[in-house]
Homo-oligomer: A and B are copies of this chain.
Amino acid sequence: MLKVSILSIGDEICIGQVLNTNAQWIAEKCTEIGTEIVYHLSVGDNKERLIESLKYLEKSSDVIIMTGGLGPTSDDITKPILLEYFSDKLVFNNDVHLNIEEFFRKREREVSKLSLSQAEVPSKCQVIHNNLGTAPGMVFYENEKLYVSLPGVPYEMKEMVVNYVIPILIKEIEKKHESVVKFKTYHTSGIPESNLAELIGDEREFLKEGETLAYLPSTKGVRLRIGVTGKDFSTCDKRLSEIEKILLNKISNFVLPIENKELTETVCELLKGKKKTLAVAESCTGGMLGAEITSVSGASDFFVGGEITYSNWAKTVRLNVNEKTLQEYGAVSEETACEMAENVRKIFNTDFGISITGIAGPTGGTPEKPVGTVWIGLSGKEKTFAKKFIFGWSRNINRERAVFTALNELKKVLVE
């Protein structure tokens, strides 16, 4: 297997100011294509240690992927050190120069001198174009090893990994004719990890030596990942589909119907396919459900809009929730959730209305309605209902879980 190590560069990671999400993300992407991750190493903006790190990692790895230290400011040391490490010199790269100028022009800003210095790149490297920023990525082939240097800004780095680095690694794997690992992931929704595990039972009964089943829970739902090893990808695919049959037999109700689509995208596809429209009414989530739905490009085909009613005033005046309902049952109640969902559907003249009203916390809980209590309402042309959920004590996790639970309720109605 192709051996990959990840080297994160920056004081902010080293001193613990920033969580190293880059290393985890890169490791996940590299694991998906069947490479083996040897190490993650993080080092501060320190020349000697960065050089030591390169020397250490290259002993056991075929590929070293570096992130960080590529900005235009003086604390960014990666480029000068790679220059020294590979006894290289800087050359002017016109494509990078044009990219930087274009970057500033598009934003109607003056090009800064510092930024232009990024057009100077080591002569031995292959440049990775930065579509989202000004620091180019760099690839060096030296000593039969691959050294990749990427910006530390997550979205710039991710774009480069997906479009440039992963294809390069796949070519390396093919070149070496090594055994490969392949993974397949299933998105589930509406079932906790432990219940899913009970349905699936002991995976050793249907997996062979070296095959893996992993449970990956998040607020969106639990993903299941199967991993198999084989001499090539098509052998792996065959084995994966054998395992899939067994797995789906146990949990098909909870596996999302469209391959490789998470819950939000699934709901969007279902709405689009059925030509149904949607409006939302949000209290404790404050717009998060609308933001999640509109994170999917093309949401305007089915999403008309909604009301953020963070006050009782807004609930009554903007959503016509009956004042009596609020007085008698409270804002966090079945009655209010139903009125919100039904009224937003009628006001926006859509097929479906969803509402969320709850106590996100950390304050505002009572013995009857503890922090984490959320009512989710769903109104269609035939019926309106609301369900109560009790999540946890963390404000933002409660809000996220409310959003994905609401989407799961809509998904269930849409696949009925």
Seen from chain A, the residues whose Cβ lies within 8 Å of a Cβ on chain B are: 8, 10-21, 23-31, 37-45, 49, 52-53, 56, 60, 71-75, 106-109, 112-115, 131-132, 134, 153, 155, 159, 183, 185, 192-195, 197-198, 202-204, 212-218, 225, 227, 280, 282, 284-291, 293-295, 297-300, 303-311, 313-314, 318, 347-348, 360-363, 370, 372, 390-397, 399
Copies of the protein in its oligomer: 2
A14 with B42, Cβ < 8 A, contacts A20-B20, A60-B52 known: no
Residue on B nearest A27 in the bound complex, by CB: B16
Known: A131-B393, A295-B399, A297-B361. A15 touches B31 (CB 8 A): yes
Ordered nearest first, which 10 A-B pairs have the shortest CB separation? A287-B287, A16-B27, A286-B294, A287-B290, A16-B28, A305-B314, A288-B291, A40-B42, A112-B194, A306-B308
Bound together, the chains give a CA A69 to CA B373 distance in angstroms of 30
CA of A308 to CA of B314 in the docked complex: distance in angstroms? Answer: 13
Task: Please give me the residue from chain B that is nearest to A16 by CB atom.
Answer: B27
A90 to chain B, nearest CB (A): 19
- Please determine whether A291 and B295 come into contact, CB atoms closer than 8 angstroms: no
When distances are taken between beta carbons in the complex, the residues of chain B under 8 Å from A284 are: 294
Given the known interface contacts A19-B19, A195-B112, A305-B307, the answer about A227 and B11 at a Cβ–Cβ threshold of 8 Å is yes
Q: What are 12 inter-chain pairs, A to B, with CB distance below 8 A? A: A11-B212, A13-B40, A15-B183, A16-B29, A20-B24, A39-B49, A40-B41, A75-B213, A107-B390, A287-B289, A287-B291, A297-B395
**Cβ–Cβ < 8 Å partners of A108 in chain B:** 390
Using A11-B225, A106-B372 as known contacts, say yes or no to A39 and B42 having CB atoms under 8 A apart. yes
> Using Cβ atoms and an 8 Å threshold, which residues of chain B touch A285?
291, 294
